[in-house]
């Protein structure tokens, strides 16, 4: 049964793309519990996580056995921005500092390019993570702004931009 909990040492994640209707109840629970833990509890940011956009999104999950280690949501163009966008990017607390977040984003970018060829990719990044996303090929396209009380910047990965990592070695 998938769950959200601390683990001592991670095994290699099993990466899977999901559509909302494909999740089991346990998988959906694990995702929503992790999103609330990270974005509401850890960041002390009360906001409505369930925003009505999950049903049309692709969801990339990194599972360590039955535990959710990492997650992101890929929205189609027009759902939040004119371009497709990645959001709700998280690494569970006990998996941080091990490169899983970078692997998550690399797989997310490769999966985005497979699902939306020729499109640019937009993100709303927490300002303190701007450098992390810049190393993945994103360029900052806005001044800092407040979103749910946290400084953010909009960033764009243009479709013709060469990725700064070997996409051939990363499966979607």
**7 Cα distance to chain centroid:** 20
- Which of 128, 129, 123 shows the shortest CA–CA distance to 156? 123
Banded model confidence at residue 11, pLDDT cuts 50, 70, 90: low
Provide the token pair at 38: 């990270």
Cβ-contact 151, 129 below 8 angstroms = no
Enumerate residues 6+ apart whose C-beta is below 8 A from 157.
109, 120, 121, 122, 123, 136, 137, 138, 139
- What's residue 2's pLDDT? 46
Task: Give the number of residues written for the chain.
Answer: 172
- What's residue 6's pLDDT? 42
Banded model confidence at residue 3, pLDDT cuts 50, 70, 90: very low
* Cα separation, 156 vs 137, whole angstroms: 8
- Which of 85, 170, 89 shows the shortest CA–CA distance to 120? 85
Mean pLDDT, to the nearest integer, of 131-148? 96
CATH of 14-169, one of 1.10.287.70, 3.40.630.30, 3.40.190.10, 3.40.50.300: 3.40.630.30
**pLDDT of 15-69, one tens digit each?**
999 999 999 999 999 999 999 999 999 998 888 899 999 999 999 999 999 899 9
Mean pLDDT, to the nearest integer, of 89-117? 95
- Which of 82, 136, 80, 68 shows the shortest CA–CA distance to 107? 136
- What's residue 46's pLDDT? 87
Say what percent of the chain tops pLDDT 90: 80
Average pLDDT, the chain: 90
Say what percent of the chain tops pLDDT 70: 90
Cβ-contact 60, 77 below 8 angstroms = no
Mean pLDDT, to the nearest integer, of 150-171? 85
- What's residue 84's pLDDT? 98
Residue 109 exposed, middle or buried by CB count within 10 Å (0-12, 13-18, 19+):
buried
Enumerate residues 6+ apart whose C-beta is below 8 A from 108.
60, 72, 74, 86, 89
What is the pTM for the complete model shown?
0.89
Mean pLDDT, to the nearest integer, of 67-94? 97
Cβ-contact 31, 6 below 8 angstroms = no
Mean pLDDT, to the nearest integer, of 77-87? 97
- What's residue 166's pLDDT? 74
Provide the token pair at 42: 């850890």
* Selected residue with higher pLDDT from 57 and 5: 57
């Amino acid at each position: 049964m998938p769950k959200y909990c601390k683990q001592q040492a991670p095994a290699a994640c099993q990466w899977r793309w999901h559509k909302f209707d494909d999740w089991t109840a346990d998988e959906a629970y694990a995702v929503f519990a992790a999103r609330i833990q990270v974005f509401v509890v850890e960041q002390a940011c009360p906001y409505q996580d369930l925003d009505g956009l999950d049903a049309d999104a692709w969801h990339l999950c990194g599972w360590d056995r039955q535990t959710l280690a990492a997650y992101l949501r890929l929205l189609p163009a027009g759902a939040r921005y004119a371009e497709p966008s990645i959001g709700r990017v998280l690494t569970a607390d006990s998996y941080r500092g091990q490169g899983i977040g970078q692997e998550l984003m690399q797989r997310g970018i490769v999966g985005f390019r497979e699902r939306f060829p020729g499109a640019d990719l937009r993100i709303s990044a927490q300002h303190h993570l701007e450098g992390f996303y810049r190393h993945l090929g994103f360029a900052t396209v806005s001044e800092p702004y407040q979103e749910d009380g946290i400084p953010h910047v909009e960033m764009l990965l243009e479709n013709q931009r060469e990725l700064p990592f070997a996409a051939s070695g990363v499966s979607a």
